[in-house]
A and B are shown apart, each in its own frame.
Chain A
Amino acid sequence: KAGVTQTPRYLIKTRGQQVTLSCSPISGHRSVSWYQQTPGQGLQFLFEYFSETQRNKGNFPGRFSGRQFSNSRSEMNVSTLELGDSALYLCASSLVAELYNEQFFGPGTRLTVL
């Protein structure tokens, strides 16, 4: 069974631009969560989608948004990029929407904002 895939793996943008990251969960998994990982703040929860609905949201500004499609694939969008948005963005999928369920992480997208 294929694991969680994320594209692109690396991305370089400049301040003010916007970016869209993609995540394909493990086949059959309906819950997708997004996290931001930085050396200073560690791993922080962005949001979680289940059956195309956002069920949980972390404490991030509205510039961070996401969506989930009917095939469970998910995208995350960051608008008006800031230098502080440079981070590793991780996607995790699980069978159901309970957060204590086993989450499988993708390799991440490393975003650099110049």
Chain B
Amino acid sequence: TQLLEQSPQFLSIQEGENLTVYCNSSSVFSSLQWYRQEPGEGPVLLVTVVTGGEVKKLKRLTFQFGDARKDSSLHITAAQPGDTGLYLCAGAAYNDMRFGAGTRLTVKP
């Protein structure tokens, strides 16, 4: 059973479209991280959010941490083929880190 539920599991869109992926839990986390993983590589950290309601922007990527620190979203504007990959969220609580199963994003040119 995943403590962190990510949706959708799979997403295939055209270049230039916008998208949002979600990471939800019934647990409260002290921090939440988003990673992107490409085939044959380890996950690469994109952002860490620690404060409820926090919004962070990384170029075309916008990350939001829920007010109750139980959920998060990642919004990508004008997606590009280079955004293709597996997006993972990970929540930290009481020295334990749990990962979601991921959203596999494909951006077609």
Q: How far is the CB of A57 from chain B (nearest CB, A)?
A: 10
Cα–Cα, bound, A43→B2 (Å): 10
Using an 8 Å CB-CB cutoff, how does the interface string of A45-87 with B read, 1 for contact, 0 for none?
1000000000110100000000000000000000000000000
Q: Bin chain A's interface residue count.
A: 20 to 34
Majority-rule SS of B interface residues = strand
Indicate if the CB atoms of A100 and B42 lie closer than 8 Å.
no
With both beta carbons as reference points, the residue of chain A lying nearest to B6 in the complex is identified as A42
Interface positions of B from 60 to 109, Cβ below 8 Å from A = 88, 90, 92, 95-102
B39-70 with Cβ < 8 A to chain A: 40-45, 48, 50
Asked if B97 contacts A108 (CB within 8 A), the reply is no
Contacts of B90 in A (CB 8 A): 43
Q: When the two chains form their complex, are residues A100 and B33 in contact, meaning their CB atoms are under 8 A apart?
A: yes
- Would you call B45 and A43 a contact (CB within 8 A)? no
